[in-house]
Amino acid sequence: MSHFSQIKTQIRNLESLEAALTDLGIEWKSGPQSVRGYRGQTRNAQIAIEQENGYDLGFSWNGKEYELVADLQYWQQDLTVDGFLRKVTQRYAYHTVINETAKQGFQVSEQQQNADGSIRLLVQRWSA
């Protein structure tokens, strides 16, 4: 019986996910990688994050999105699972917005980190 949990996300772009993890100071390995779990069980993932206790967490593509894959009994992050996903998702959204607006010719002209943790971006595009 598997101890792994698979938690759905709205994360679909690997580059933005990698940038988000890097921004948050999380060391990760690009896949395909094995995520280690209880009694030597493994799961394949596109991103693996090693923990000091020998159990990993990772992000695995399910055909629609990247799911967080981990043996939650051995979760060893500073934040709860929900807190971790909230932070990763916020940075992921930031990078997705920056990348998509840049493709359309926009540049960030102003960026503000609000007291509630949200980020305010002002983008603009100059036309000839």
Q: Retrieve residue 9's tokens.
A: 């996300």
- Mean pLDDT of the region 46-57: 94
pTM for this prediction = 0.86
CA distance 4 to 60: 12
Find the radius of gyration of the CA atoms of the chain.
Answer: 17
pLDDT band at 31 (very low <50, low <70, confident <90, very high): confident
CA 2 to chain centre: 23
- Mean pLDDT of the region 88-106: 92
**Domain layout of the chain by residue ranges:** 5-124
CA distance 91 to 88: 5
- Mean pLDDT of the region 19-25: 95
Q: Is the pLDDT of residue 94 over 60?
A: yes
pLDDT band at 2 (very low <50, low <70, confident <90, very high): low
Q: Is the pLDDT of residue 128 over 70?
A: no
pLDDT value for 64? 95
